[in-house]
Amino acid sequence: MSPPPTIAEPRPEVVTRGVPPRRAAWLEATTSTDHKAVAKLWLGAALTFLAVAAVEFALTRLQLIVPDSTILVPEVFNRILSASTVSAVVLFAVPALIGLIGYIVPLQIGARGVALPRLNQLAFWLFATGALMIYASFLYTVPETPLAPFPPLADEVFSPSNGVDAWVGGVALATLGFVLFAVNLIATLRNMRAPGMAWRRAPIFTWAAATIGYVLLVAGGAMLAALTMLTVDRHFDGVFFDAGENGEPLLFSHLTWIFFAGCHAILVIGAFGIISEIVPSLSRKPLFSRPAAAGSLVAIGFLGVLAWMQNMYAAPIPDGFAYMAMAAALALVVPIGLIYFNWIATMWNGAVSLRAPMILALCGAAALMLGLGGQLMTAVIPVGLQLENTVAAQQDTIMVVVGFTLAVFAGLHYWLPKVTGRSVAEGPAKLAAGLILGSAVVFALAMFLAGLEGQPVDVFRYYEEDGVATENLIATIAAIFLVLGVLVELGNLAGSYSSGRVAAHDPWRGTTLEWFALSPPPPHNFDAVPDVRSAEPLRDIREAIREREAAYEPPAPLPRAAAPEPAPAPVTAHAPESQPEPEAPSQPEAEAQGPAPDTSTGEDGNDSPLT
């Protein structure tokens, strides 16, 4: 009689020393190579610098509120002005766009990541180092370079301090970050689109992103070359820009204008791309004439860079070059006009829902038109000779940046539910949109009139007899309201980021693949990537679900007396094998049925976003 076995036979088992501890959230956010984590860093940095640039802009305007003002000493004014310009363009505008692209575009093309994730991460940290370098100069010598350090003024003779070096180093690092981001973006777009997503089916914002990638490569490369040569000139006895040694000071102007013209084109393309996503989505219609819209974005990139010399009409360049720049700048009328026309035609006969993204997008379109209309005027050489480098032409650029900022806000309202799973409050956004656009119009008009009187850009002082006191007073008041509007919206975004109402996975009934992912998306973005069969894959998927639901017949009740034959009934009930795209419905169905308790409230929760 043997005792019952008390010891089980050996069998394989999984051994662990415990669940690995979670890393701290900040460590995860800053070291993850997930494109979404990196993009959030870009966005956070960009919006921070937007607040900084806006406040600096208000300070410079405050100095000009009255003639002969002595609120700020000249050096301080020049430093704040320089910091404001570089913050607005290099530290806010381009990074904000990169953040949106870096988050959304891989989702839009149905990719589970990016092609070169570590390069993508390196790009951000190069940019962050550059930004730190620029702002660290406030601890020693601040650059006084309102737009860019143009030699000979930036040569050692005239600018012996190392402020210029801080500007050059910081902008070079940031630009290198942009270029590396563009490399990763282009590699991702070429290689990682979902099956079936031919270029003709790529979403319009993806088209904008692709154009921006190539523009960044060209424009960023030119800027890096210019800054390298300037450093050689300053510290290693170079003569690239030294007229006395057969150098060419204008060469630096050309290269930096290629960069700034590229940045300008990027802002316009990015804003147009965002608005072109929102307008169809909230009009419940496909974008009118997609090929024309996509082609227009590409054309703006090409022509916008080609027209860089439209900023140099007054410089001693050959007439032929000036005419080429004018031709390219005027040709921009066609793609820009077409894009606006496409938006109008998209809304026409649609069901336009004036939610916050739509309001912000339309206000952005209006502000952009204020700036682009002014630039159409200055593109003609005689008018350019009159208005260039006066505050009249400067306000065109500011209006483009304001329009771009509104478009970025619109994009954040549209896409933040995807990023955070929470919707952004709409009341403050509509208030901010009105405040920004209204004050921008007043500001633009006042500055335009002052520019007609010949008020130059970048001056820290004007005199009573210049006759521009009223215009400057009005412009300063308007600028303060403008900045207030921006700060209100930034506060709104920050407040809604972690405590907004919970949103559904597809709050706008979007038609592109980012709405196929969960909100927020898991690290791998998609459990299953659907076949793309049109430019609006989610519309196809919804239709497939609708058809399936219509075709669904509830199983007949089992006859009581019949012999048990359980096999056929479950097969007809579930029947997934007989349908195409077996994995496609999993997520939308989950959405429709509400996997989480918040989904059903999310849909109508967005209607009254008073929280």
Partner 1 sequence: MAALALALLAPPASAAGLGPDAANSPNADSIRTAYWVMLAVALVLGTALIAGLVVAARRFRARDDAAPRRLTAARGTAGRVGAGLGVLAAAIFVFGVVMTEDARDASADESAESLDIGVVGQQWLWRFEYPQDSESSTGEEIATVFSYGELVVPVDTTVNLAIDSTDVIHRWFIPALGGQVEAVPGEVAETSFRAEEEGVFEGSSTQFSGTGYPAMRATVRVVSEAEYEEYVQSLAEELSEAQAEVAGESAAESPDPEAPEGAAP
What is the widest separation between alpha-carbon atoms in the chain?
Answer: 120
For 106, 394, 399, the CA distances from 461, given in Å and listed in that order, are: 48, 16, 23
Binding test (CB under 8 A) with partner 1, winner from 204, 258, 267, 376: 376
Which one, 389 or 579, has the nearer CB to partner 1? 389
Which range binds partner 1 by CB under 8 A, 106-114, 161-169, 453-461, 545-553? 453-461
Q: What are phi and psi of 390, to 5 degrees?
A: -105, 170
Among 23, 70, 71, 74, interactor with partner 1 by CB under 8 A: 74
Q: At what angle do helices 163-191 and 117-136 cross, to 10 degrees?
A: 160
* Of 103, 205, 302, 462, the one binding partner 1 by CB under 8 A: 462
Work out how close the CB of 152 gets to partner 1 at its nearest, in angstroms, rounded to a whole number.
5
- Angle at which helices 163-191 and 74-86 cross, to 10°: 10
Owner of token pair 């590699």: 187
Could you give the CA distance from residue 527 to residue 584 in angstroms, rounded to a whole number?
Answer: 10
User: DSSP string covering 447-472, please?
Assistant: HHHHHHTTPBTT-S---GGGS-HHHH
Distance (Å, rounded) from C-alpha 423 to C-alpha 426? 9
Q: Does 322 bind partner 1 (CB under 8 A)?
A: yes
Query: Helix, strand or coil for residue 502?
Result: strand
Residue 452 in the binding site for partner 1 (CB under 8 A): yes
- For the segment 213-252, give every residue that binds partner 1 (CB under 8 A): 243-244, 247-250
DSSP 116: -
Stretch that binds partner 1, among 94-102, 205-213, 376-384, 473-481 (CB under 8 A): 376-384
434 binds partner 1 (CB under 8 A): no
Q: Within 10 Å of residue 376's Cβ, how many Cβ atoms? A: 18
Q: What is the CA radius of gyration of the chain?
A: 28
- Indicate the residue among 175 and 375 with the shorter CB distance to partner 1: 375
Taking CB under 8 A as the criterion, the residue among 27, 31, 70, 75 binding partner 1 is 75
Quick note: the x/- pattern for partner 1 over 35-64, rule CB under 8 A, is: ------------------------------
Per CB under 8 A, 171 contacts partner 1: no
Positions in 326-365 near partner 1 (CB under 8 A): 326-327, 330-331, 333-334, 337-338, 340-345, 347-355, 358, 362, 365
Task: Name which of residues 250 to 309 contact partner 1 (CB under 8 A).
Answer: 250, 253, 283-286, 288-289, 292
Q: Is residue 547 exposed (0-12), middle (13-18) or buried (19+ Cβ within 10 Å)?
A: exposed
272 neighbors 337 (Cβ within 8 angstroms): no
- Given the complex with partner 1, which of 62 and 377 has the nearer CB atom? 377
Would you say the C-alpha torsion 288, 434, 332, 413 has a positive or negative sign?
Answer: negative
Binding range to partner 1, per CB under 8 A, among 72-80, 95-103, 170-178, 517-525: 72-80
By the rule CB under 8 A, 158 interacts with partner 1: yes
Check residue 377 for interaction with partner 1 (CB under 8 A).
Answer: yes
Least distance (Å) between residue 67 CB and partner 1: 11
